Chains A and B, each alone.
Chain A
Amino acid sequence: MTLVSVSGNLLFIAFVCYLAATLFFGGAVKSSTKEIATSEKRWGRIGIIITIIGFISNLGYFVTRWIAAGHAPVSNLFEFTTAFGMMIVGSFILIYFLYKTPLLGLFALPIAVIIIGFASMFPTDINPLIPALKSYWLYVHVITAALGESILAMSAVAGLIYLTKNIDLTKKSKQRFWLEAVMLTLVLVLGFVASTTTFKVMDYEASFNYIDKEEKADEITYNVPPIFGMNEYEALTPGTMTPLVETPPIVNAKKLTTVTWSLIFGLVLYVLIRLIIRKPIAALLQPLAKKANSQLMDEIGYRAVLIGFPVFTLGALIFAMIWAQEAWSRFWGWDPKEVWALITWLFYAAFLHLRLSKGWQGEKSAWLAVIGFIIIMFNLIAVNLIIAGLHSYA
């Protein structure tokens, strides 16, 4: 077995461990109130042990891939997103030992699983480094930034639990709507994983000639059935679907198609879930969240931001500036990825100020934490895939 395949297997083991640990944390939370102390402890302990085993395996993936590639595995979208998923688990372990709450695992691990699953949809080859990435600042900057983001993500997890517990789901309200929207978003990510996997298994491929926005001819290959065609496309692969709509040159029809398929799969999945459980997903989770102490969740949410904010500042702004100065001759260039790191930072600064001075605690604070996580994911995914800049990996 080569080192690369060892690495892949370790990642898979970690993935399975996280799924298993989620079930145990579920068990810990579900146990009835009377035997809560002992049972919660027992199930919770098994849960955290499995999580730690998974995390070690995950670290094993990281180290072996690092050795195989000769550089830290944070240099493309797959590697970076996987590392982020791993660090979410690491941050969860940290918070678990500070606050001993299994419930957190029940929400944090599925999120890590979704993120790692999402990551695996991108090309997993080991890339050689392009000149701009050849710097040890790459590792220092990316790893610290991702670590900061993953700790900040814990506050969203605590916030989500707070909201699931405290929002009245029996009445129609804005809060109920948005909470379910967050759940739907998670299902849509699963939709992306499901659609990509389906077409990958089918080995779908359709190539086209098209004219790009600079009016040059180019070729593109879809790995999903083309719903949208590129500008002035011309099919090259016989026997594949004819695009339903042709898009203007500034639209990347391939990405639009991928998004559309994810939406279709995700929505079908969501409708199926709703048909089976016969209530909103949030309502399914609510009984589990009911055990949470709101005050404690609020405290964890705040503490996670307090721990994560300095790490994020160091990694995503300060180390980033040092590296940019070395690589691009300027520490700041208003590149979209840089700007979104700044936006994330400003957002959490606002969070801290609102909390400290305006007393935004409890529900408001929980919503802010969830929005913060959405901004982080936006920077991770949308900015990479949609807004092309110097950082663009894809």
Chain B
Amino acid sequence: MNKILCTCGHENPKGTVLCGSCGRPLTEEASNQKLVDMRYEGSARRSQTFNKSIIDKVWNFFSSVKVGVSLIVIILVAAAIGTILPQVFYVPATGEAEIAAYYERVYGTFGKLYYQLGLSDLYGSWWFQTLIGMLGISLIVASLDRVIPLYKSLKKQRTRRHESFMKRQRIFGIGENALGENTFAKSEEKLKSLGYNVKREDGAVLGEKARFSRWGPYINHLGLIIFLFGVMLRALPGFYVDETMWLREGETRAIPETPGYYLKSDEFILETYDKEKADEVFNDAIERVGTIASNYQTDVVLYKKPEDALPGQTDKLEEVKKDSIQVNEPLKFEGFAVYQMDFRLDELRSMQFNLSNKATGESLGDVSVDLVEPEMSYDLGNGNKVELLGYYPDFTGFENGEPQTQSPIPNNPAFLVKMTTPETPKGETSFVAIKQTVEPFGENKYKLEFNNVETRDVSGLTIRKDKTLWVLALGGLIFMIGVAQGSYWNHRRIWIHETKDGHIAVAAHTNKNWLSVKKDLDQVTLVANLPPYIDQHDLEALEEKKDGEKSS
């Protein structure tokens, strides 16, 4: 690689704008500027130096802040578009046709178009994820492109800089040396007391403070990259579990995706604020809104199947712990968390029937049918028997004489039963539901009559395992450290040196917060009698100064 040799003797890599050592401008353009561009200390960046091969071009594309900001803005706009209508996962419909119909029915033509353009699942779309991916690449490339050259030039900066460098600093002043050699001693002392690191050479002082803040952006970008990496990890098997289960009171079920864990629900509890019992200050709100829920809770027992149990064997479960799952208080075990997400109140649990002789009204006994796991036959003694021929948990009516059920959930249970008594040894068939009896094969002698139901609540639980959380947390932490470092500290430098003709030149630079560096410089100026400086950016202050000089 060819190098650029500066007049001061320092060898700079190709592409350098300001000499890494003395700060002299090395390019025509830089020497023509009134103020130097200090952004990366004028160091040579790959993206600014090479543009030949396809790799260079891709590198330069992703390294550009223009591209980076464009990506940010495009993602921002896309994200906003996704909030115009609810996304598919918030819509009460399942299956493509039903979802499409929902958007059209509720939101009209606009809704239909929104759905057809795929905006209803925008965040899961390939193009949105590609944009995020490109943002990640851009973060990596842009950071690498800058951090290494910046590190090199900040590490080996010289105390004395060339006058052409000083003159082109935003804060610059030149004037008489009132104190002679003492200027430097006093400056050094004051800078040190202000917390600056001071380097001193013959007739030159460099005070530098909080250089580490320059690494802030790179650290925060690293945090973001780690975060995005963590998000990608969830696609790998075993890193991420997201299951749901419905658990009825009294029921014990295997927890999906967990190694041999079972959960039993003792009780589901729904509590609301009661005007009588709740704190008086809430009365107005309760009155205005009506019922306000105060607690959703499932009392559970967590069991584990012993190691040596046979597959499917569930009679020797070992209790692990009792817990109450509430919103905001998930049950946690072995990296899993079980959340209280939903509930159904008063699901039918069992139905009671009474078998009786129609003519005499004589009762032959009661039958209780469990609606989740009904038995097939019920013996009432004395030769009386009821058998289930068919079970329709969510009965909706007959179609071609066949009873229909729309779901396996016992919302409206119905049965086809056969009743056998010593008097009717061949059995009689009847169709029974709540408050409904149909006798499909003609008049029966006996009837099975609906008596009563028993209900129970069902808890909707979500089971999560997310092994990526610590990666995300790490990314977040690193981001916060980096962003605080770059925002709450600023890299300040103050150069003071004697020029060839015996004047004193001062210059100062900070990457942000110019007010503070000026305050620092003011204090040094006061102690060491430095020449006054001007802020070459603050045009209004300069104007005022000019006006002042004219009028005085």
Contact = CB atoms under 8 A, between A and B. Distances in A.
Q: Is the interface of A mostly helix, strand, loop or mixed?
A: helix
Given A70-B279, A250-B106, A353 B68 contact: yes
Interface in A275-311: 293-296, 299, 302-303, 306-307, 309-310
Contacts of A70: 279
Interface stretch (A16-24, A48-56, A235-243, A331-339): A331-339
Interface stretch (A130-138, A172-180, A259-267): A130-138
B83 A336 contact: yes
B83 A127 contact: no
Contacts of A123: 285, 288
Interface string A354-370: 10111000000000000
Nearest to B273: A128
Contact of B278 (A128, A248, A327, A343): A128
Given A295-B541, A306-B487, A334-B82, A329 B87 contact: no
Given A134-B328, A293-B540, A299-B515, A325 B469 contact: yes
B99 interface: no
Contacts of B512: 302-303, 306
B68 to A, nearest CB: 6
B413 to A, nearest CB: 26
A246 to B, nearest CB: 16
A309 B479 CA distance: 12
Interface string B44-70: 000000000000000000000110110
Contacts of B273: 128
Interface stretch (A102-110, A189-197, A344-352): A344-352
Interface string A119-148: 000010111111110110100000000000
Contacts of B333: none
A299 B535 CA distance: 13
A111 to B, nearest CB: 23
A128 B292 contact: yes
Nearest to A137: B328
A269 interface: no
B76 A343 contact: yes
B281 A69 contact: yes
Given A126-B285, A309-B487, A346-B76, A327 B328 contact: yes
Interface string B79-93: 110111011011000
Nearest to A305: B487
B407 interface: no
Nearest to A131: B327
Given A128-B286, A307-B488, A313 B479 contact: yes
Given A310-B487, A339-B79, A350-B76, A294 B540 contact: yes
Size range of the chain A interface in the assembly: 35 or more
A99 B480 contact: no
Contacts of A69: 279, 281
Contacts of B152: none
Contacts of B79: 339, 342-343, 346
A318 interface: yes
Nearest to B217: A356
A330 B224 CA distance: 19
A356 B84 CA distance: 32
A234 interface: no
Specify which of B76, B84, B339, B484 lies most central, judged by the most chain A CB atoms within 10 Å of its CB.
Answer: B76
A217 interface: no
A337 to B, nearest CB: 9
Given A128-B282, A343-B76, A383 B327 contact: no
B306 interface: no
A134 B271 CA distance: 14
Interface stretch (B193-201, B293-301, B414-422): B293-301
A350 B476 CA distance: 19
B75 A329 contact: no
Interface in B274-328: 278-279, 281-282, 284-286, 288-289, 292-296, 326-328
Contact of B73 (A129, A325, A350, A357): A350
A4 interface: yes
Nearest to A361: B537
30 contacts: A123-B288, A125-B284, A126-B285, A128-B278, A128-B292, A135-B328, A249-B106, A293-B541, A295-B538, A299-B515, A303-B512, A303-B513, A303-B515, A306-B513, A310-B480, A314-B480, A326-B330, A328-B341, A329-B337, A329-B341, A329-B462, A330-B242, A331-B472, A334-B123, A353-B68, A354-B69, A356-B39, A356-B65, A387-B83, A389-B90
Given A99-B515, A131-B296, A342-B79, 4 more contacts: A132-B327, A293-B538, A318-B480, A346-B72
